Amino acid sequence: MQALITVAPTGAEVSKRDAPALPVTLDELVVAAKECEALGASVIHIHIRDDEARPTLDLGRLRETTEAVRAATGLIVQLSSGGAVTDPEEHRLAVLDAGPDMASCTMGTVNFGDDVFMNRWQFIVDLHGRMQDKGIVPEYEIFDLGHLAALERLLHKYGLPAGGHVHVDFVMGVPGGMPGTAEALIACKHELRNLPEGTTFSATGIGRTTIPVMLAALATGGHLRVGMEDTITYARSQPVESNAQLVARAASVARLAQRPPMSPKDARSLLGIVRG
Q: Which residues bind ligand KMH (CB under 6 A)?
A: 11-13, 80-82, 84-85, 104, 106, 112, 117, 141
Q: Does 80 bind Zn ion (CB under 5 A)?
A: yes
Nearer to Zn ion, 80 or 245 (CB): 80
CA 32 and chain centroid, separation: 16
- Least Å distance, CB 54 to ligand KMH, is 13
Let me know how many helices (H) and strands (E) the chain has, helices first: 9, 14
Give bridge partners of residue 104 from the DSSP assignment: 139
Sequence-ordered strand ranges (E) for 82-196: 102-106, 110-112, 115-117, 137-142, 167-172
Nearer to ligand KMH, 95 or 195 (CB): 95
Contact (CB, 8 A) for 228 and 10:
yes
Instruction: Answer with the entry of ligand KMH, Zn ion, none that 119 interacts with (C-beta below 5 to 8 A by kind).
Output: none
Nearest residue to ligand KMH, by Cβ distance, number only? 82
For Zn ion (CB under 5 A), the number of binding residues is: 1
- Least Å distance, CB 128 to Zn ion, is 17
Q: Counting Cβ atoms within 10 Å, is residue 90 exposed (0-12), middle (13-18) or buried (19+)?
A: exposed
Instruction: Answer with the entry of Zn ion, ligand KMH, none that 85 interacts with (C-beta below 5 to 8 A by kind).
Output: ligand KMH
Nearer to ligand KMH, 148 or 259 (CB): 148
- Least Å distance, CB 137 to ligand KMH, is 14
C-alpha 99/C-alpha 126 separation (Å) is 17
Q: Which one-letter DSSP state was computed for residue 98?
A: G
C-alpha 142/C-alpha 274 separation (Å) is 23
Instruction: Answer with the entry of Zn ion, ligand KMH, none that 81 interacts with (C-beta below 5 to 8 A by kind).
Output: ligand KMH
Contact set with Zn ion (CB under 5 A): 80
